Amino acid sequence: MDLFQYDFMLRALVGALIIGLAAPALGIYLVQRRLALIGDGLGHVALTGVGAGLLLNRSPVLVAVIAATLGAVVIELVRAYGRTSGDLALALLFYGGIAGGVMLVGLSDASSGSLNAYLFGSLTTTSRTDLITIGVLGVVLLVTMLVLRPALFAVCHDEEYARVSGLPVRALNLLIAVGTAVTVTIAMRAVGVLLISALMVVPVAAAQQVTRGFRSTMTAAMALGLFAAGAGVWVAATADTAPGASVVLVAIGSFLLVALAAAGVRALRRRARADRVTPPSEPAEHEVLLR
Amino acid sequence: MTPPVIEIAHATVGYDGRPVLRDVSLTVTASEVVAVLGANGSGKSTLVRAALGLVPVGAGSVALFGTPQRRFRQWHRIGYVPQRLGAGSGVPATVREVVASGRLARRGVLRPAGRADREAVEAALDAVGLADRAGDPVSTLSGGQQQRTLIARALAGEPELLVLDEPTAGVDAASQEAFAGALRTFRDGGGTVLLVAHELGPLRPLISRAVVVHQGGIAHDGAVPEPAGHHADPDHEHVHPHCDEEPARLWTGI
């Protein structure tokens, strides 16, 4: 693999691996909450941050973190206090986010290429500073999600029970919201705002085809995320494809494989059980007739 | 003198400004087993949810273990068993994982689970007869077994007060018996119980006092009322829906 002797490829690989590991660790809580697409929406909001950053000549990633965090907090407040209009409020936020982003990027001096880089990812242009940002935020995110797993599990599993347990439910919910925003922004470099949700959700969806518990699902999803990121970058490097899309397609491919394998195993098990249950019986009537 | 475990005084509780309960008072003292009875929609679940702070109380006051409910922080003293498992379970979770979350009130958010926590979880699984299903995903359990998982979760925190919201609604007979057994052990250990029920079934001999909620008020507070009419028949299958006009005397035994 000669390609990885280039610094930029190595940086791309390391960045992708960190994101591949961290994104499902956060995404599992979103899937448990049935909010799998929230990351997608926050990606849209982050785009406005990118546009503002480009326009103001500030670091787009930094401004995007701020914008996505604000968006996440607003969504969490709508979720916690809103009633029927929650759905609509989210739609307004998402489409407002992407429209704002496209407009602000257009107003800035940046080329349309840079808009594409944020929409679909641009892993190979990861700079040393970017890698440090991804590394620090990724590790903080991972440690938080692992250390607080029992509490976050309880809140996502049964929020009322968590409240009666005296858990700081609002703080934990905000933590998940802010964690989602951070994941979205660091993953933006790798897969782009339009594909972020895939890295948070697809490994979890694949893992839960074969797992029985929450902890095992989380471990398996992180392993799958790591694999998809590594294999995706390798495919991109050897076949010269877009890294973001390659990572996501590898993840979806693994989901299909795991789902098919799990369905096959289930069918085999059912047949084995049916064989065991059926007593060795006399030939059935029609067989006698056939003779 | 120790303060009452739950003290609700002249509480008015409602959703969106429409009162469900008006001027309701209820006191539960230590070691009592109190059943809150009433027809569907009478507000009996709202009463216990208000006691726990899950529904805001408009007028009046609620105190838990002598502390006003708003300032109450010793949540490890309370074990709550909701009607059913919340809908937020998109990811599989084992029975043991669900039961283990009952320890959080006692050990806090940051401290990792220790040996005492693990032992309490195993003991709670044993108490409801689910030790052999501990590693199975809760979604593969029957309704009654899921309900037992929830009581095990509450027991795992080793609470002093158990609050149960219709624990036996739609639960098979075997699970109801397991449930009654777990509750008896809890009561014999000095625990206090407040439970909402539509039908008492095998729980009846455990109940020390009954409160009947009717049309947003408390219609009866005292001995467990004898079921009247065809409800008294032990073979009576309770499957028909209760309408709003159901007479109060069904429970008050007049």
Tell me, what CATH number does A116's domain have? 1.10.3470.10
Minimum-distance CB partner of A151 among B87, B102, B109: B109
Query: For B53, which residue in chain A has the nearest alpha carbon?
Result: A164
Predicted complex ipTM: 0.83
3-state secondary structure of B245: coil
B87 vs A: CB within 8 A? yes
* pLDDT tens per residue across span A163-184: 999 999 989 988 998 999 899 8
- pLDDT tier at A289, thresholds 50, 70, 90: very low
Domain count of the fold of chain A:
1
B209 vs A: CB within 8 A? no
With CB atoms and an 8 Å threshold, state whether B73 touches A166. Answer: yes
Within 8 A of A213 by CB-CB distance, chain B residues are 92-94, 96-97, 135, 137
Per-residue pLDDT averaged across B179-188, rounded?
A: 88
With CB atoms and an 8 Å threshold, state whether B113 touches A158. Answer: no
- Look-up of token digits 């009537």: A285
* pLDDT tens per residue across span B14-65: 877 778 888 889 999 999 999 999 888 788 888 999 999 888 888 888 999 9
A interface with B, Cβ–Cβ < 8 A, is: 28, 31-34, 36, 147-148, 150-151, 153-154, 156-168, 172, 204, 208, 211-215, 217
The answer to whether the CB of A126 falls within 8 A of the CB of A135 is no
The answer to whether the CB of B53 falls within 8 A of the CB of A163 is yes
With CB atoms and an 8 Å threshold, state whether B135 touches A212. Answer: yes
More confident site: B246 or A80: A80
User: Is residue A212 assigned to a domain?
Assistant: yes
Work out the percent of chain B whose per-residue pLDDT is above 70. Answer: 87
Mean pLDDT, chain B, rounded, equals: 83
With CB atoms and an 8 Å threshold, state whether B93 touches A157. Answer: yes
Residue at A284: amino acid letter:
A
In whole angstroms, give the CA distance from residue B126 to residue A182: 42
How far away is chain B from the Cα of A246, in angstroms, using its nearest Cα?
26
The residues, any chain, with a CB within 8 Å of residue A147's CB and separated by 6 or more, are B110
Tell me the count of A-B CB pairs closer than 8 A. Answer: 105
With CB atoms and an 8 Å threshold, state whether A208 touches B78. Answer: no
User: Is residue A288 assigned to a domain?
Assistant: no
Query: For B163, which residue in chain A has the nearest alpha carbon?
Result: A164
Among A5-9, A24-28, A111-115, A203-207, which is the least confidently predicted range? A111-115
Architecture of the domain defined by B6-252:
3-Layer(aba) Sandwich (3.40)
With CB atoms and an 8 Å threshold, state whether A213 touches B135. Answer: yes
Within 8 A of B105 by CB-CB distance, chain A residues are 164-167
* Structural domain for A100, as ranges: 2-276
With CB atoms and an 8 Å threshold, state whether A154 touches B89. Answer: no
Per-residue pLDDT averaged across B60-77, rounded?
A: 90
Bridge partners, A82 (sequence order): none
Within 8 A of B90 by CB-CB distance, chain A residues are 31-34, 36
Within 8 A of A164 by CB-CB distance, chain B residues are 52-54, 75, 78, 80, 105, 163
Residue A217 has pLDDT above 90, yes or no: yes
The most distant pair of C-alpha atoms in chain A lies apart, rounded to whole Å, by: 88
3-state secondary structure of B223: coil
Query: Residue B20: what pLDDT?
Result: 86
Q: At what angle do helices A149-157 and A214-239 cross, to 10 degrees?
A: 100
Query: Residue B229: what pLDDT?
Result: 52
More confident site: B168 or A40: A40
User: Is residue A58 assigned to a domain?
Assistant: yes
User: Is residue A69 assigned to a domain?
Assistant: yes
In whole angstroms, give the CA distance from residue A33 to residue A153: 10
